[in-house]
Structure 1
């Protein structure tokens, strides 16, 4: 087994507010946007991207034995990946997220009533992961549920087991928290994830600076790269900045003129990055692959808009 993606899977309900706003401005009339149902989840988006790029990842997440779970499995089955160890629960629901998007940005997103504890994704247990950890060379992790129990402990234990085996661990922080103060327990858990990871990708203001406050990004990078890690700092349509013990490199983005939405762009970055690493490319080139896959994903709604290998090569030039 090459790549194992471990984390979450669910459904995005997308309301294209930006599209509706433009139609109202153009016509002066009334337009009610039609909600779109898209299978998603941060880890599911990444696994889908990896598969589209010609690899055969194993994907493990916990979903509900319900209609949304069936939609999700059907969508993931469109591409080549190992879903044999997916966990289907009769006790918990498949999670859904309401996303209101304004073309170039997601205005806000809401989870269902009752919090995250009722959803299958956050209730993944260590014993449900099986033996996949003992076979992977690359483990790809999302930090989207660092504050949710028991999945936060499940993921950490799996990372530590993979680390002992010498696997490369790619962590996408995925906290989405630029607008609020992080709880202390979440910060501590995030640092444990980072300590165990090989390559850490995330945003500057929303993630790295929040977790390591009051340190600057240069101070954060110095501390982490001296222990052999690499930091990949994403910034939307701007350059991605790669920090290693050898120094700093800026990797240009691939701008898009017509953006449908940004849902899953970071997830697709991680997918492209992981594939490049699995094929033996340098960290700098892996960041280029990540930028290219993220850019391509902006052209369609939802988080599963990754390119195939031919399309990726065309973007890379």
Structure 2
């Protein structure tokens, strides 16, 4: 069983469904409203845990009524929450999601997530003793100083680290060199590497940079050539909100279970394809038995 540490946001999603997005100054009638568990960190932790990884969450919740629900949800998914900070003077994180024909746009309010500091990361690493860590998974909904401190500590201790740079923000070449994996989507890639050609950047970071392309799959460089890994076709797309988080969690489980990079991406694509057939970021995230029941699951993956 893989041991994965997820460092990131823990939030509540407020989801509004509509036939279109309103113009500036326009009021329209929505079709649905739901609340759900979210935050890219929590989403990726749930994806890892449901696929069998021993998963520990590092992050922060606030002092409001949402905090206990958020923590209980993580526990219900067999995630270790002993190192989640409670910030009593701040609200928990939240996101307002507009969902139109399966595609989403999001306004994210970090709340307590912004209070999770480099010191919190340092304390965890100081106290973790000799615990085996196969991979640390982090995103950009935690403040930049905390993410950079985490990457530096992982680098010093030779712990593999995957950065999912969502939302996109500037990243230095020095930081990229310290990463084991970097997984932007197309939009994030363009923000990270403006005016650069995808193929050229893939060649610059072989076996490290994975660019996810939505319905077109994902692409990476294996050290010899560029490999395109197609997505799994889905006829009935309900909600793409958690697709990227599901992919990153599933990829993390696969790569730490001994699969090669291309196979790990295929595994992530299958998990994401299952997830987007359900509403909500976490609701459709598959368990391992569900993955194994799909015709696209390859027996050679042998993930336990």
For the superposition of Structure 1 and Structure 2, which TM-score range results when normalised by the shorter chain?
0.7 to 0.9
Instruction: Select which of 94, 97, 105 maps to 1:96.
Output: 94
Structure 1 residue aligned with 2:25: none
TM-score (norm 1): 0.83
Measure how far apart 1:105 and its partner are: 0.8
1:272-313 Cα deviation digits (max 9, x unpaired): 000001111100111011101111110222211210101112
- Mapped to 2, the partners of 1:250 and 1:224 lie a distance apart of 15
Structure 2 residue aligned with 1:172: 164
Structure 2 residue aligned with 1:53: 51
Is this contact kept in 1: 2:179–2:208, CA < 8 A? no
Q: 1:144 to 1:111 in 2, by over 3 A?
A: closer
Structure 2 residue aligned with 1:202: 184
Is this contact kept in 1: 2:199–2:226, CA < 8 A? no
- Mapped to 1, the partners of 2:173 and 2:188 lie a distance apart of 11
Root-mean-square deviation over aligned CA pairs: 2.2
- Mapped to 1, the partners of 2:285 and 2:145 lie a distance apart of 30
Measure how far apart 1:54 and its partner are: 1.1
In the alignment, structure 2 segments of 5+ residues that lack a partner are: 21-27, 298-304
Measure how far apart 1:224 and its partner are: 2.1
Runs of 4+ displaced beyond 3 Å: 132-135, 189-193
Is this contact kept in 1: 2:12–2:36, CA < 8 A? yes
Q: 1:264 to 1:93 in 2, by over 3 A?
A: same
- 1:278-297 to structure 2, matched below 5 A, reads 278-297=256-275
Instruction: Select which of 150, 155, 159 maps to 1:158.
Output: 150
Measure how far apart 1:111 and its partner are: 3.6
- 1:246-285 to structure 2, matched below 5 A, reads 246-285=224-263
Q: 1:243 to 1:137 in 2, by over 3 A?
A: same
SS state at 1:98 partner? strand
1:130-179 Cα deviation digits (max 9, x unpaired): 3358532211011244xxxxx21111111111112111111111226xxx
Q: 1:31 to 1:203 in 2, by over 3 A?
A: closer
Is this contact kept in 1: 2:87–2:115, CA < 8 A? no
Measure how far apart 1:238 and its partner are: 1.1
Is this contact kept in 1: 2:139–2:165, CA < 8 A? yes
- Mapped to 2, the partners of 1:152 and 1:139 lie a distance apart of 16
- 1:3-152 to structure 2, matched below 5 A, reads 3-18=4-19, 32-106=30-104, 108-111=105-108, 116=110, 119-129=111-121, 130-132=123-125, 135=131, 136-145=133-142, 151-152=143-144
- Mapped to 1, the partners of 2:73 and 2:120 lie a distance apart of 22
Is this contact kept in 2: 1:191–1:211, CA < 8 A? no
- Mapped to 2, the partners of 1:265 and 1:122 lie a distance apart of 24
In the alignment, structure 1 segments of 5+ residues that lack a partner are: 20-29, 146-150, 177-185
